[in-house]
Amino acid sequence: MTGTVEIPIWMILVLAVLAAIALVDRIFAPSVRWFFRRRLNTAIDELNQRLDLRIQPFKLTRRQTLIDQLLYDRKVIEAVDAEAKASGVPRAVLMRKAERYAREIVPSFSVGAYFGFGTRAARWLSNLLYRVTLGFADDAALRSIDPHASVVFVMNHRSNMDYVLVTYMASSRASLSYAVGEWARIWILENLIRSMGAYFIRRNSGDALYRRVLGRYVHMATRQGVTQAIFPEGGLSRDGNLRDPKLGLLGYVVSEFDAADDRDIVFVPVGLNYDRVLEDRILTAHREREVSGRDFRVRIPAMVAFLGTLLLRRITGRLYRFGYACVSFGRPLSLAQWQRERGIAFRELGQEARFEAVEKLAETLMQRIGAVIPALPVAMLSHLLLESGDEWVAETRMRQRAQELIQELESRGAHVHLPRADHDYAFTTGLRMLALRNLAQQNADGQLRANPAEMTLLTYYANTIAHLLR
């Protein structure tokens, strides 16, 4: 009993490390976690005092807790049981499948990532590429939104920059939760996007169980008051026109809404427009092939060279930005009020009637979005050049027609962005942007016309305001 036991030095070192880890985990870590949690709660309280729309507790809940809530939601369990009965697949297998879907969808929001990095990066990138401006905002109506309502920003989808631009422009009002497509599921980028509060969706998925899990998550987030941002069009416009709305995500938001029991859902229409869309050549590539046979494809070396050129010009102070990027916020729409005016209740409707009601709501939202899309210099000048066809037009006459177009748009209630509130400067800015890309031509006599080889791209930009002129 009193004999000597020899222990190797490496084992003593391992035991010492394990003891230190246990000491830190049991004694120091709880107090450190409490300290940082206290600082985080203080930061959240300060943010909620500054933001028009508070960060809801649901958004700050641990991700694993949300996954468990979603996985054991009554309707998810019913969907698992129904598929097990129909397909003969064991229930345990389907539950693992549902858990995989839940982990794929549920975000992991971080206040530090969103406000410490995300909004600052969004502001830097937006101002690097564009002259960012606020077109129109119904501030009185936005301030009058019920603070307990679930707010959903609905917007047209012009570019992948939309996520960045709206995050920047809305950063003083709210933290937005986006639905992001599978294109963003790239290592590192995926985790960053999750920490920004976004959730991933599979577009056009035919899996009934997946759709049920996704629908229940959107329902949970909406009912708990999470501020969301969705694109009713479902994808980027490839011709510049507003697309017909897709009803999937919007249906998940409103399908089980009951004005008597649920907090109101308020939709805020957002209109975006750009003097230059970064991916315009890619979006119009299919049409361009049909018209001229030219082929524009995504080439990684060309993209890297393009970004390198931008950074070099930025460093040397020779960067000429891509014109104006403008965001407008329209008059909010209360879902409870919209239902009362039509005498309907989503929860009480059958499947077909509910689909028709969602379709009518989507049409109303798209009309409101279209009404606040700003008319920018490039779009207006593209419209005038196409209107002239192959005809050469004197610059003075074109300026006059531009003023007439602005007056017509304003008479229709459209929001026209005039840089420096100067008609001539707006015309000069638009012409310079088109001339730099060789979309507009000018002869020795100073006359202007559209470049016949670039009609597809000019049509794309003219279409961004076509709905305002119908």
The string of DSSP letters for 294-351 reads ------HHHHHHHHHHHHHHHHHT-----SEEEEEE---EEHHHHHHHHT--GGGS-H
Name the 3-class secondary structure at 265: strand
Query: What pLDDT sits at residue 26?
Result: 66
Q: Which residues pair with 270 in a beta bridge?
A: 155, 329
For residue 208, count other CB atoms closer than 10 A to its CB.
12
Backbone angles phi, psi at 157, to 5 degrees: -115, 100
pLDDT digits (tens, 9 = 90+) for 309-336: 777 777 777 667 899 999 999 999 999 9
Residues 64-76 have a mean pLDDT of 93
Mean pLDDT of the chain, nearest integer? 86
Rounded CA-CA distance 392/379 in Å is 19
Of 8, 191, 169, 228, give the one whose Cα is nearest residue 103. Answer: 191
For 185, 454, 455, the CA distances from 388, given in Å and listed in that order, are: 45, 14, 12
Report whether pLDDT(365) > 90. Answer: yes
State the pLDDT confidence band at 32, using cuts at 50, 70 and 90: low
| Contact between residue 381 and residue 430 where contact means Cβ atoms under 8 Å apart | yes
The predicted pLDDT at position 11 comes to 77
Query: Mapping DSSP to helix (H, G, I), strand (E, B) and coil, where does residue 206 land?
Result: coil
How far apart are the C-alpha atoms of 333 and 360, rounded to whole Å? 13
Burial class (CB in 10 A: 0-12, 13-18, 19+), 311: exposed
For residue 39, how many C-alpha atoms fall within 13 Å in the half-sphere facing its CB?
6
d(CA 48, CA 50): 5
Stretch 359-370: mean pLDDT: 95
Residue 335: both structure tokens together? 């879902």
Interval 341-364: pLDDT, tens:
888 877 777 888 888 989 999 999
Amino acid code (one letter) for 371: A
Task: Let me know if 282 is exposed, middle or buried by CB neighbors in 10 A (0-12, 13-18, 19+).
Answer: middle
Using the predicted structure, report yes or no on whether residue 188 has a pLDDT greater than 80: no
CA-to-CA distance for 167 and 267, rounded, in angstroms? 17
pLDDT of 185: 73
In this predicted structure, the answer to whether residue 230 has a pLDDT above a threshold of 80 is yes
Please tell me the distance from the alpha carbon of residue 200 to that of residue 183, in angstroms, as a whole number: 9
Flag the least confident range among 32-46, 350-364, 429-443, 456-470: 32-46
| Angle, CA 74 vertex, CA 71 and CA 78 arms, to 5° | 95
- Domains 103-276+322-372 and 377-469 alike in fold: no
pLDDT of residue 257: 85
Instruction: Return the CATH superfamily for domain 103-276+322-372.
Output: Glycerol-3-phosphate (1)-acyltransferase (3.40.1130.10)
Other Cβ atoms less than 10 A from the Cβ of 19: the count is 10
Question: Where do the structural domains in the chain lie, given as residue ranges?
Answer: 103-276+322-372, 279-319, 377-469
- Beta-carbon contacts of 103 under 8 Å, excluding residues fewer than 6 positions away, are 67
Task: Place 35 in a pLDDT band, splitting at 50, 70 and 90.
Answer: very low
CB 127 within 8 A of CB 171: no
Q: What is the pLDDT of residue 36?
A: 44
Fold (topology level) of 377-469: Arc Repressor Mutant, subunit A (1.10.10)
Instruction: Give the global pTM.
Output: 0.85
Cβ pair 366, 424 in contact under 8 A: no
List, in sequence order, the alpha helices (H) in 197-247: 208-223
Q: Confidence class of residue 196 from pLDDT cuts 50, 70 and 90?
A: confident
Q: For residue 145, give the nearest of 345, 336, 333, 338 by alpha carbon.
A: 333
Q: What is the pLDDT of residues 136-186, one digit of tens each?
A: 888 888 888 888 899 999 999 999 999 999 999 888 778 888 888 876 677
